Structure formats: structure tokens, C-alpha cells
Chains A and B, each alone.
Chain A
Amino acid sequence: DTEVTQTPKHLVMGMTNKKSLKCEQHMGHRAMYWYKQKAKKPPELMFVYSYEKLSINESVPSRFSPECPNSSLLNLHLHALQPEDSALYLCASSPPRGWDSGNTIYFGEGSWLTVV
């Protein structure tokens, strides 16, 4: 099982709304990631959590707030977004380095976000 599950698949929100994207994996992975992908561009790293602690924040605006409540869940809280934040948001996870597959990253199907 190499499944990373993201919800919702599609989200439309106004600029004053507060919403959250959710990501879940039950593979025992201890690193989880949020990526943002605009049309015709590669995914761009936003955040990395390692063992439930934020280890990398790629200078992401504070209107995006990540949260890792436990080793299986990763949330991305959204508040006061702008239309240019509309994109595909991808969650990913990777196994601990000691595993055979420790250098592989698995992606979820993504959440398509439209800000109006």
C-alpha cells in the first residue's frame, strides 16, 4: 500500500474564507510534505515535517499554516488567500531513511484549489 489520501479533491473558496486541506497516510512514513503546483510549472516545495516537527518552510506566506497533529496526518490551513494562490496542492510522504524505500517520495492525488 503506497497510498497518500488528500481531501477535498476540489475546493473553491472566497478570499475571506478559512478552509483546510487534509492529508493522511498509514504507511508509517515520518516525513510529510506540502507542494504547490501552478499550471505548466513543476511542483514547488512549501513545507516539510519530519517526525511531526516542521523542518522546512520555504518562505511561504503566513496565510498558509501547516499542522501535523500526529504521524499520519498533515493539514494545511488556509486563510485570506488571494486568487493567485489558486493551484494544485500536493501532499507527499516518505519512509524513514533506514527503510529500503527510504529515498522515495509518494504523492497524493492533490487538492485543486480555486480562490475567487
Chain B
Amino acid sequence: EDKVVQSPLSLVVHEGDTVTLNCSYEVTNFRSLLWYKQEKKAPTFLFMLTSSGIEKKSGRLSSILDKKELFSILNITATQTGDSAVYLCAVLYGNKLVFGAGTILRVKS
């Protein structure tokens, strides 16, 4: 059965810390891996990854994909309280986008 697994499920850090969120997947007809941030509303798009080893970067956030080992990581450096959210990994395969369970990140001031 196709699946997307995220770890850890939740994480509490202090402002300024660096965090790494993990996403592993097992699907057929892989097209892309997407990262979203969700607060109390719809998911907000962060990154789309299709090729191995190419880092995508946006400010303090970065992400990379390993298509051989079937996983991706999302890094957040110098965390801020505004980074507190659920981070969702999703894999697009065929015509389906399937989400992992998410990682709940809480950044304490």
C-alpha cells in the first residue's frame, strides 16, 4: 500500500534552534514531494521537490529530496515563534496527492 510517513510527530524547541523534519515515502509513479505549512487554516505551499540532491531554499527554510532512499527533509534554522505550525509532507503520484500525518512544531520564546 502506498504511504507517506513523517517524523517526529511533534517537536518542541526554543527560539533560535534548528529543526529537521523527516518524510519518507513508498509510492508508485512518483511525480513530486511537496511540503506545506498549516496553521488554523488551509495548507500553505512551501516547496516542491522532483529531483534528488537539489536543495530548495526560502529564507530560513530549506528542503532536499533523496529519490534513491525515498525520503525528504525540511530544515528550519533560527526558529521563531511564528514557525509554530503543523508541517505536512505530501507526495504526488499519478493523479493523487497523499499526505503524511504531519509534524506539529512548537517554538517556545
List chain A positions with a Cβ less than 8 A from chain B. 2, 31, 33, 41-45, 48, 50, 55-56, 88, 90, 92, 94, 97, 101, 103-110
Binding site for A on B (CB under 8 A): 31-32, 34, 36, 41-43, 45, 48, 50, 88, 90, 92, 95-102
B50 touches A106 (CB 8 A): no
14 contacts between A and B (CB under 8 A): A42-B88, A42-B99, A42-B100, A42-B102, A43-B43, A45-B96, A50-B95, A56-B95, A56-B96, A90-B42, A90-B43, A104-B34, A107-B45, A110-B41
CA distance A48 to B36 in the complex (A): 20
A48 touches B96 (CB 8 A): yes
- Residue on A with the closest CB to B88? A42
Contact of B101 among A2, A42, A56, A104 (CB under 8 A): A42
Cβ–Cβ < 8 Å partners of B99 in chain A: 42-44
Q: Report chain B residues within 8 Å CB of A2.
A: 45
Residues of A within 8 A of B88 (CB): 42-43
Given A42-B99, A42-B100, A42-B102, A103 contacting B92 (CB threshold 8 A)? yes
Across the interface, name the chain B residue whose C-beta is closest to A56. B95
Measured in the bound complex, the distance between the Cα atoms of B99 and A93 in whole Å is 16
Cα–Cα, bound, A30→B20 (Å): 35
Whole-angstrom CA separation of A110 from B40 in the bound complex: 11
Q: Can you name the residue of chain A whose Cβ is closest to the Cβ of B48?
A: A104
- With A42-B101, A43-B43, A110-B41 as contacts: A105 and B92 at CB distance below 8 Å: yes
Give the docked Cα–Cα distance between A43 and B8 (Å): 18
Bound state CA distance, A99 and B50, in angstroms? 13
Which 3 residue pairs across A and B have the least CB separation, nearest first?
A103-B32, A42-B99, A110-B42
Q: Select from chain B the residue with minimum beta-carbon distance to A91.
A: B42
Residues of B within 8 A of A44 (CB): 99
> Which of chain A's residues have a CB closer than 8 A to the CB of B36?
107
Q: Which of B41, B92, B95, B101 has the most CB of A within 10 A?
A: B95
